[in-house]
């Protein structure tokens, strides 16, 4: 395994982060425990969850993923061996069953209270804001419309998080699904008012979704905010199983067609082209896809997800794959021809 540090901290994390959002829905508690056992044995020390998980989010199963991590932590006594990241749910129709009060001081306190109980721990290493509270561009929305109802509350949010850090309940903070303006505003407030500084931003990034490179990558590099790249395989499309017709009946996009942005006609065609590059260079598409993300200079850790141990082994092994300049040029040629087919 390879390691790095969360920006502006002394916390060492593996370059591969174990994602967990299938646990409690597609995966059982026992399967989640086996995945954590295997990942730890391979040197992975970074696990990401959220109060919203598992996904797709429903009131009946909300928080179940973190409970599975909690029972594993209690069973193995491994809390000191892992870095735990979690998130407070932002606003949206898919989070209304959790709360509708956004990132108010009471909401942040309540969210951390409940998550600590689920995780059976007394602190969270990295606590992230899951989506901006304001209504802004998300998941394929290209045309920006100003949210005139939202009032600037960056300072208030950072003060609330500062109180939680001082209380020892969280150690560091991060963002998720945020854009460049929001990221810079948090950094500005931190610098101007001596408030906690954002360490990371968790956004989608893969060969099918390279919109992070348009401008926020510069923010990440110049301001030292590390990307925690999620969906690096585009919900499994970049494993090749959908274009090859080998996806099992319990594959995510078969079970949950609402995530079709990764399986549209353009994304499927791009995946076919990337598959040929991988095959021509004696790699699996999954490992090429993950190695591409791992090698980006703005990526702190790549969040992988798997529904079985065979997939997990292949994904973790991607840390040993280094793409040549020639392969990277071929990948860029496809990207130039078909940019961001799953934005």
Strand partners, 302: 16, 229
If you average pLDDT over residues 2-18, what whole number do you get?
Answer: 98
Please give the DSSP secondary-structure letter assigned to residue 27. B
Q: Indicate which residues carry an active-site annotation.
A: 53
pLDDT at 66: 98
Above pLDDT 70, what percent of the chain?
93
Token representation of residue 314: 């292949």
Average pLDDT over residues 187-214: 97
Q: What is the pLDDT of residue 248?
A: 63
Q: Where are the domains of the chain?
A: 3-234+296-322
Overall average pLDDT of the 125-129 stretch: 98
**pLDDT at residue 90 greater than cutoff 70:** yes
pLDDT in tens, 237-286: 999 877 766 666 666 555 566 666 677 899 999 999 999 999 999 999 99
**Cα separations (Å) of 121 from 112, 124, 164?**
11, 8, 15
State the average pLDDT for the chain.
Answer: 93
201-212 pLDDT, tens digit per residue, is 999 999 999 999
Give, rounded to a whole angstrom, the gap between the first and last alpha carbons of the chain.
30
Q: Residue 95 pLDDT more than 90?
A: no
The mean per-residue pLDDT over the stretch 185-200 comes to: 98
Burial (Cβ within 10 Å: 0-12, 13-18, ≥19) of residue 265: exposed
290 neighbors 315 (Cβ within 8 angstroms): yes
Record: fold of 3-234+296-322: TIM Barrel (3.20.20)
Which secondary structure element, helix H or strand E, spans residue 127, and what is its range?
Answer: strand 124-130
Indicate the range of 78-92, 96-110, 207-221, 231-245 predicted with least confidence: 231-245
**pLDDT tens, 38-64?**
999 999 999 999 999 999 889 999 999
**How many angstroms separate the Cα of 297 from the Cα of each of 4, 231, 256, 278, 294?**
12, 18, 32, 22, 8
E strand or H helix at 106: helix 105-119
Geometric angle at alpha carbon 325, from 319 and 328, rounded to 5°: 70
Would you place residue 140 in the very low, low, confident or very high pLDDT band (cuts 50, 70, 90)?
A: low
pLDDT in tens, 213-232: 998 999 999 999 999 999 99
Sign of CA dihedral 276, 281, 285, 291: negative
Whether the pLDDT of residue 102 is over 80: the answer is: yes
Q: What's residue 186's pLDDT?
A: 98
The pTM (predicted TM-score) of the whole model is 0.94
**pLDDT score at 92:** 77
Q: What percent of the chain has pLDDT over 90?
A: 82
pLDDT in tens, 288-341: 999 999 999 999 999 999 999 999 999 999 999 999 999 999 999 999 999 999
Distances (CA, A) of 84 to 45, 246, 276: 9, 34, 37
CB count in 10 Å sphere of residue 249: 6
255 within 8 A of 55, measured Cβ to Cβ: no
Which of 134-138, 157-161, 315-319 shows the lowest mean pLDDT across its residues? 134-138
Q: Average pLDDT in the 185-212 region?
A: 97
For residue 23, pLDDT over 60 is answered with: yes
| Of 181, 93, 102, the residue nearest 137 (C-alpha) | 181
* b/e map 10-23, b = 16+ CB within 10 Å: ebebbbbbbbbbbb
d(CA 193, CA 198): 13
Which comes out higher in pLDDT, residue 86 or 96?
A: 86
- pLDDT, residue 207, reads 98
């Amino acid at each position: 395994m390879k390691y790095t540090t969360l920006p502006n901290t002394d916390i060492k994390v593996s370059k591969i982060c174990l994602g967990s959002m299938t646990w409690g829905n597609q995966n059982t508690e026992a399967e989640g425990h086996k995945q954590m056992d295997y990942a730890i044995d391979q040197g992975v020390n970074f696990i990401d969850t959220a109060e919203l998980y598992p996904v797709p989010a429903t009131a009946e199963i909300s928080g179940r993923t973190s409970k599975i991590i909690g029972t594993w932590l209690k069973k193995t006594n491994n809390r000191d061996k892992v870095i735990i990241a979690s998130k407070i749910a932002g606003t949206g129709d898919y989070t209304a069953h959790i709360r509708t009060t956004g990132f108010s001081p009471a909401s942040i306190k309540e969210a951390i209270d409940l998550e600590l109980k689920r995780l059976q721990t007394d602190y969270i290493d990295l606590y992230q804001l899951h989506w901006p509270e304001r209504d802004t561009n998300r998941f394929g929305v290209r045309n920006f419309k100003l949210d005139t109802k939202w009032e600037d509350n960056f300072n208030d949010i950072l003060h609330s998080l500062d109180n939680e850090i001082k209380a020892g309940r969280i150690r560091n903070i991060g963002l998720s699904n945020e854009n460049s303006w929001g990221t810079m505003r948090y950094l500005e407030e931190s610098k101007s008012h001596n408030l906690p500084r954002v360490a990371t931003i968790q956004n989608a990034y893969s060969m099918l979704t390279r919109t992070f490179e348009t401008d926020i990558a510069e923010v990440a590099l110049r301001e030292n905010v590390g990307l925690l790249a999620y969906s690096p395989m585009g919900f499994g499309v970049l494993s090749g199983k959908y274009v090859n017709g080998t996806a099992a009946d319990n594959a995510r996009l078969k079970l949950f067609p609402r995530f079709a942005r990764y399986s549209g006609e353009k994304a499927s065609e791009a995946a076919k082209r990337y598959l040929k590059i991988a095959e021509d260079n004696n790699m699996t598409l999954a490992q090429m896809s993950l190695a591409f993300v791992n090698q980006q200079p703005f990526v702190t850790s790549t969040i992988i997800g798997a529904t079985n141990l065979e997939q997990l082994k292949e994904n973790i092994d991607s840390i040993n794959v280094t793409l040549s300049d020639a392969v990277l040029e071929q990948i860029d040629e496809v990207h130039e021809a078909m940019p961001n087919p799953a934005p």
